[in-house]
Chain A
């Protein structure tokens, strides 16, 4: 399968105001496109995709510069990544139509090949922070002002490897690295605080020495403000409060992690989805 063409046609501007113009409409368009794509493919994991589509849309439209790097560590939100790439013109509708199909590069978790801007195969949680740290280290080594962003889930931080990476990033002063946490409070088989509780994640990462920002993952300006550059010798962890399954009848429900749109007629899901479709 040949790599997908890079159709990126973003305007080159440093004006955040200009880049944030119409962001609300862009986010809603992305959310609708995401639901439609998952419905057409019949693939699940929609809940965790919907909790981060705002973040990804703002990230790609208003934060990431041409030379920056992004890693989707919560690989099960691949659909949201693909739609974000569609939103900026990197992927087109024909590409999205292959999502979840045979012989497609748009797999349920990024396969790491042939999709512009996707650097690694992710899908096993806990890998992204280290990969991002390596990218950030390379940038620092070369004196580049490249910034690296990595999106994780909250449950993902139960993986020890995340903490290994954070400790490394703090020690090596990788302030060009931003780890974003999609904190929707739900994981695969329960609520995060019921599976592995403890102090709030924001406090734990702060104790490791990271710079911590907390924001609303469904408010575009809060997202953009939290993801701005801040070079003070510390990596940044941005904890974004979100709602799993945002915009559907499965909001904040465990089922939203797994079920594709419309698979449970008794949930009331289709009605809410149709409002956004």
Chain B
């Protein structure tokens, strides 16, 4: 059960991703879609649309990346898909040596970032994925909303890690054109920066409050802080800053933002960081359970902004 099940939560982003990749790339004779035995009840449409260019490479992630690099080296467009925790960890060296070092524009699509696979246990959670990919110089994209997907997959020009989650925006939210960093909710009690889908959770938690009773909410969907507009830095300066990410503290959004602020000589009045627990501390459960423990479910966000 997802954290907001029964409250008009949309289907997982992978459905939108699948439909977009079919619409945009299935007819491209040079586009390959590779998976490592993952995709049951999710990728059948992609398989049918891509035909021989859809390859289930079997339970072999290292080979997946090597083959993808070889195809890309010959000019093919390549998507590699798996559960997020399998995609970046097992073939880390292949991603490093064969993609990051070469700059080949392979798109690594990791489904279920963060605690999305909940009860499946810690081996299926991706909590440090953004950091390690970012450290390699791979472009890290964490879409906040389903509508972010088309713009992201249409602009793959470098090795990219695309972490798919679930769109949690309330049905009343009108939507917004994609930008790697954008303000999705106005507010005057500080600034809350959310990594990807947690922006939707923040909208649910805070959207009903008066503007002067809530922080402004920014959705960060690209871990490159230099892609943020100047307006963000203006808002952060001297303000209370809240950062929420379904990701480990080390190397994640909080550290990226803090480093970027320091480089710009921007100081926060207060810096509050809610993040995933890494390494696992022996308590396991659903994604909702983990969110509550980490303090970035709706109740946790409300409590956080009201803490003295």
Contact = CB atoms under 8 A, between A and B. Distances in A.
A138 to B, nearest CB: 4
A124 B62 CA distance: 13
Interface residues of B, number: 26
Secondary structure type dominating chain B contacts:
helix
17 contacts: A120-B102, A121-B97, A123-B97, A126-B62, A127-B93, A127-B98, A129-B66, A130-B62, A130-B66, A131-B66, A134-B72, A139-B74, A160-B62, A161-B62, A161-B63, A164-B62, A168-B63
A215 to B, nearest CB: 26
Interface in B8-61: 52-53, 55, 57-58, 60
Nearest to A134: B70
A122 B70 CA distance: 13
A133 B74 contact: no
Interface string B126-149: 000000000000000000000000
B94 interface: yes
Contacts of B57: 168
B97 A134 contact: no
A137 B71 contact: yes
A135 interface: yes
Nearest to B60: A164
B249 interface: no
B67 interface: yes
Contacts of B52: 141
B83 interface: no
Given A112-B101, A133-B63, A165-B63, 14 more contacts: A120-B69, A120-B102, A121-B102, A127-B94, A130-B65, A131-B69, A135-B70, A137-B67, A137-B71, A138-B74, A139-B74, A161-B94, A164-B62, A168-B63
Cβ-closest 8 pairs across A and B:
A134-B70, A130-B66, A164-B63, A138-B74, A164-B60, A134-B67, A161-B62, A135-B70
B73 interface: yes
B89 interface: no
Q: Which of A129, A133, A135, A164 has the most chain B CB atoms closer than 10 A to its own CB?
A: A164
B186 interface: no
Interface residues on A, range: 20 to 34
Interface in A12-35: none
Interface of A: 112, 119-124, 126-127, 129-139, 141, 160-161, 164-165, 167-168, 171-172
B70 A136 contact: yes
Contacts of A131: 66-67, 69-70, 73, 98
A127 B70 contact: no
A70 to B, nearest CB: 13
B102 A112 contact: yes
Contacts of B256: none
Nearest to A165: B63
Q: Which of A112, A122, A127, A131 has the most chain B CB atoms closer than 10 A to its own CB?
A: A131
A265 to B, nearest CB: 37
B63 A138 contact: no
B158 to A, nearest CB: 16
A119 B63 CA distance: 17
A133 B76 contact: no
Contacts of B72: 134
B58 A120 contact: no
A126 B101 CA distance: 17
Interface string B96-107: 011001100000
B301 interface: no
Given A119-B73, A124-B93, A134 B66 contact: yes
A135 B74 contact: yes
Contact of B73 (A134, A141, A172): A134
B116 interface: no
Contacts of B74: 134-135, 138-139
Given A120-B102, A124-B93, A161-B66, A135 B60 contact: no
Contacts of A168: 57-58, 60, 63, 67
Interface string B75-103: 11000000000000000011001100110
Q: Which of B57, B66, B69, B101 has the most chain A CB atoms closer than 10 A to its own CB?
A: B66
B56 to A, nearest CB: 10
Nearest to B101: A121
